[in-house]
Structure 1
Amino acid sequence: MTLPEIVLRLALVVAAFLLLPLLVGQLEHKAMAHMQARLGPMRAGGFHGWAQLIADGVKFVQKEHVVPAQADRTVFSLAPAIALLPYLVILVVIPVGPGLVALDLDIGLFFVLAVMSVSVLGSVMAGWSSGNKYALLGGLRSAAQLMAYELPMVLAASSVAMAAGTLSLPGIVEAWSPWWLAWQAPALLIFFVAGLAELHRPPFDMPVADSEIVLGPYTEYTGLRFALFLLAEYAGIVVLCALTTVLFLGGWRGPFGDDALGPIWLLIKLFVLAFVVIWLRVSNPRLRADQLQKLAWQVLVPLSLGQLALTGVVKVAMV
């Protein structure tokens, strides 16, 4: 691969990183406005509230940057970047078409899972450095939630890797077939639910729920720093939906076998899953902390272990 090709691929990844989370944010504004009859998001800019996202950005830029007197200023300032940048790194290894990947790693799946778990450190750093007891409790809840849901997520992804016989994300897409959904459906559900919990998306948003813990680790953040945490949440949705598409839904592969339309099929699947994420936020009540832990350890972990055993049996039977 030549240097211009590397630069072009990285530029496309950065462009996608800057654009796709904003589109998901706009989709959430509009979907929630229709589902909950919210008039506000449908007004900014005139037709269908097209400028709502721009208005939010202007609002964040205008707000004052406040650092609490008791805060650790260095860690407090670094936390938003730590929460956001891992998702940019993950997009580098997401394949969007045959040969269309910025970096094809032989251990791409484990690389993605390892980097994805780093983003929660931003929440922990924010909670610890804020000098606020509610922020600290929110950071500790974030860490506990990560530990509970990382195991079923890794086990579900391992089931797919075992079925495909490779850890390469493009290799998994190439090995995928529609009949996978008949016996990998539990792994799909486990992976998606665990991913939502790691992103603190409803109904798993106890660490940042304003009615329970003010705003958790983000309580003391204002202006652009708070906007970066919001952007990290939407970037996480993009990454989770892209990974779910690549691992379980055939990635760029469409129903007509035309790989030239691969990026389009990937984006369609990604935004359908993003809509499901938003739908779950609108339609489900928040779980209690004990219910969240029970769901992870008593339901998802046994199911993921059973799915792993089933995959092993199917692979042996196929041989």
Structure 2
Amino acid sequence: MSSRSWARWIPSSARLIGSHYAKRHAERSRVAPRLRPPTDDTGLADLGPMTLPPVAWYTLEAFIVLNAIILLVTYVTLLERKFAARMQSRIGPYYVGRPHGWLQPIADALKLMIKEDIVPAAADRGVYNLAPIVFLVPCMLIFATIPFAPELGVADLNIGVLFFLAVSSLEIVGLFMGGWGSNNKYALLSAMRAVNQIISYDLPFVFAALVPVLLAGSLQMSAIVTAQEGLWFVFYPLIGQLAFLAYLVATLAAENRVPFDILEAESELVAGFRVEYSGMKFALIQLAEYAHMLGTSFLGALLFLGGWLGPGPAWLGPLWFLGKAVLIFLLVTWVRWSFVRIRVDQILAISWKLLLPATIVLLLATGLVVATRGAGGP
């Protein structure tokens, strides 16, 4: 390209970018992001002098969000390692992967990518190969409805909380497929335990998440955050604290974390449902588990901790949101390294005899409070 062509191309590109961001800035007054890109009379996305089909717009947004989530989940593993090393006075990945362990997650990912992908001879190849993908897709899809700021999100649905709860529960399908398709007794037993546990704790998880929904009077995540401008729901007298505690306990069980990690108890089931997986398939399973954990941390920050609300200018909102989600993640990690595993019968007893009745009573009490006050907020 000649210098004259460059001289014409650079100003036109600058005008294109400037017009796009001017349109975005003019729409800052809206609370929730639009579910569709700006379009012209032809139905194409209007980006000034250039138009894009809506499919291309959505594909670009999905590509950016997906890669950001993968990068964030990758370094969440480093955060967990460092936190565990502090608690147990271990060196951790400080000297390995200098500087300060920042290269360790990349090294782990590369190691799993170059490992041999072994398929057991007796495995159901179709189910076995498809299970990691079925397990990963719902765990990544839940991030589509999470707004990180008033206008920073893929789709702020008016049923966002319902979408999150419904899609996140689909991971159990991929988990059971992995245990069944491996044709391994340890993997199958682990999958059966997981189905039993996740079904037992799904209802308490949903009921605890519905408490902020009732207080805000909306299933839209941005509306729930807006309803917490005067008071975060975690500080709502008694109801908020009990709902947040129930949410954390149900989250631990849904994520199969200590003390509810019976599906991968090393002394009983080796590596659980993923015992026969290696290489990239094992990496996809690990990515799905940490993505689900991070997603529930983001949801907890939205429902109980005010999301992006915090002191300072508006551009600090995403940082406040990320900090609150990391706080919940560290709380879950602290429980992992502080408690011991409990038995299967104890796990089921906690759910059916304690947590489920408590969340039902809590949900009824919240509805009574909202109905008495005649408003959907504190």
TM beyond 0.5: yes
Relative distance call for 1:61 and 1:15 in structure 2 (3 A) is: closer
Q: Deviations over 1:40-63 (max 9, x none)?
A: 523213343332222222321232
Partner of 1:42: 94
With a CA cutoff of 8 Å and minimum separation of 6, indicate the structure with the bigger relative contact order: 1
Q: Contact (CA 8 Å) 1:107, 1:168: kept in 2 or not?
A: yes
Q: Quick check: 1:228 aligned with 2:281?
A: no
Partner of 1:280: 335
Partner of 2:15: none
Q: Quick check: 1:297 aligned with 2:352?
A: yes
Relative distance call for 1:40 and 1:260 in structure 2 (3 A) is: closer
In the TM superposition, residue 218 of structure 1 has moved relative to its aligned partner by 0.5
Q: Distance in 2 between matches of 1:70 and 1:6?
A: 41
Q: Contact (CA 8 Å) 1:21, 1:231: kept in 2 or not?
A: yes
Q: Contact (CA 8 Å) 2:140, 2:288: kept in 1 or not?
A: no
In the TM superposition, residue 249 of structure 1 has moved relative to its aligned partner by 0.7
Q: TM-score, normalised by structure 2?
A: 0.80
Partner of 1:101: 153
Q: Deviations over 1:155-182 (max 9, x none)?
A: 1122221111111111111112425323
Which has the larger Rg?
2
**Gap runs ≥5 in structure 1:** none
CA-atom RMSD, angstroms?
1.6
Q: Distance in 2 between matches of 1:34 and 1:191?
A: 26
* Fraction of identical pairs, as percent: 42
In the TM superposition, residue 121 of structure 1 has moved relative to its aligned partner by 1.5
In the TM superposition, residue 71 of structure 1 has moved relative to its aligned partner by 0.6
Q: Distance in 1 between matches of 2:226 and 2:101?
A: 41
Partner of 2:363: 308
The more displaced of 8-17 and 160-169 is: 8-17
Q: Deviations over 1:140-164 (max 9, x none)?
A: 0110011100010111122221111
Q: How does 1:133-148 map to 2 (within 5 A)?
A: 133-148=185-200
Q: How does 1:118-197 map to 2 (within 5 A)?
A: 118-176=170-228, 177-178=230-231, 180=233, 181=235, 182=237, 183-197=239-253
AA in 1 matched with 2:354: V
Q: TM-score, normalised by structure 1?
A: 0.94
Q: Distance in 2 between matches of 1:314 and 1:179?
A: 16
Q: Contact (CA 8 Å) 1:156, 1:191: kept in 2 or not?
A: yes
Q: Quick check: 1:249 aligned with 2:302?
A: no
Q: Contact (CA 8 Å) 1:149, 1:194: kept in 2 or not?
A: yes
Q: Deviations over 1:92-119 (max 9, x none)?
A: 1001111222112111111110000011
Relative distance call for 1:216 and 1:32 in structure 2 (3 A) is: same
Q: Contact (CA 8 Å) 2:70, 2:287: kept in 1 or not?
A: no
In the TM superposition, residue 260 of structure 1 has moved relative to its aligned partner by 2.8
Q: Quick check: 1:205 aligned with 2:261?
A: yes
Partner of 1:65: 117
AA in 1 matched with 2:153: V
Structure in which a larger fraction of residues adopt helix = 1
Aligned residues: 318
**Gap runs ≥5 in structure 2:** 1-36, 39-44, 46-51
AA in 2 matched with 1:313: L
